[in-house]
Amino acid sequence: MLYAGIDVGSLSTDVVLVDSDLQIKGYSIIPTGADSKKAAGESLDEALSQAGASQEDIGEIIATGYGRISVSFASDRVTEITCHARGANRLFPQAKTVIDIGGQDSKAIRLNRRGRAVDFAMNDKCAAGTGRFLEVMARALELDLEELAGHSLKAEKTVPISNMCAVFAESEVVSLIAEGNPREEIIKGLHVSVAERTLSLARRIGYQSPVVMTGGVAKNAGVIRALEEKLETELLIPEEPQIIGALGAAVIAFERAQKEVS
């Protein structure tokens, strides 16, 4: 029997399938697009194909993320705070804090000894410090998003970025380029600004090490380095940081199925 977690985010819809030993048997990450319900179905089908299974093999489905209400075929819906905590705890039982930087928001979550969320702080009012912010900056720099980290790691100095609003920061970056500042140093400045924004969230919850970083921005080595310097600790990074919310949902799906059986 398999248990599914579906995380419908603003930019991507992620599915994780686990077995009765909570081992990942398949997962998928696809763009959410304009139809979150369709994306959830397609992502589930892709994960099932990877696992060599069918929907009849699924015992329980838990949906999470901002679009969780659109997953009509889910058994239940759980907040992304709870699911990110459970997913991070599954991979790193020693974790005390989770930093999640996704496409449109960022979160800092404090965990108790059992890996449950006991406090959190969230930036979901604007794109500041998120993947979307970095995407806009990459466009201003005429680079692919994936290229930012490589340039940042080459920089010996940092050009400070004073604006965190994506609109104003884009204008600031264009001006800094025109002034002749090296691209590498501008990018490092952007990564430092994201790290500083994230640090303020982490401080609000009284973060403690070990710290797990999840979300798509956890694939950016430049942000990781800047954040490790600000938090003064080495970050634990999952092999695939984008699926942690879906993994947590799948773990909850398994646990609820066991309760129903017992």
Q: Is residue 208 pLDDT above 90, yes or no?
A: yes
pLDDT of 216-243, one tens digit each?
999 999 999 999 999 999 999 999 999 9
pLDDT band at 261 (very low <50, low <70, confident <90, very high): low
Domain 95-237, CATH class in plain words? alpha beta
3-state SS, the chain, equals CEEEEEEECCCEEEEEEECCCCCEEEEEEEECCCCHHHHHHHHHHHHHHHHCCCHHHEEEEEEECCCHHHCCCCCEECCHHHHHHHHHHHHCCCCCEEEEECCCCEEEEEECCCCCEEEEEEECCCCCCCHHHHHHHHHHCCCCHHHHHHHHHHCCCCCCCCCCCHHHHHHHHHHHHHCCCCHHHHHHHHHHHHHHHHHHHHHHCCCCCCEEEECHHHHCHHHHHHHHHHHCCCEECCCCHHHHHHHHHHHHHHHHHHHHHC
221, 153 Cβ separation under 8 angstroms: yes
pTM of the entire predicted model? 0.92
Q: Is residue 123 pLDDT above 80, yes or no?
A: yes
| pLDDT more than 90, % of the chain | 84
Query: From CA 62, how far away is CA 45, in angstroms rounded?
Result: 15
Query: From CA 126, how far away is CA 16, in angstroms rounded?
Result: 28
Q: Which sequence spans correspond to the domains of the chain?
A: 1-92+243-262, 95-237
Share the mean pLDDT of the chain.
94
Query: From CA 130, how far away is CA 137, in angstroms rounded?
Result: 11
Residues 6+ apart with CB under 8 A from 249: 4, 5, 6, 7, 16, 62, 63, 64, 78, 83, 86, 87
Q: 95-237: same fold as 1-92+243-262?
A: yes
Q: Is residue 262 pLDDT above 60, yes or no?
A: no
Query: From CA 46, how far away is CA 16, in angstroms rounded?
Result: 10
- For domain 1-92+243-262, give the CATH superfamily: ATPase, nucleotide binding domain (3.30.420.40)
Q: Is residue 56 pLDDT above 90, yes or no?
A: yes
What pLDDT score was predicted for residue 129? 78
What pLDDT score was predicted for residue 165? 80
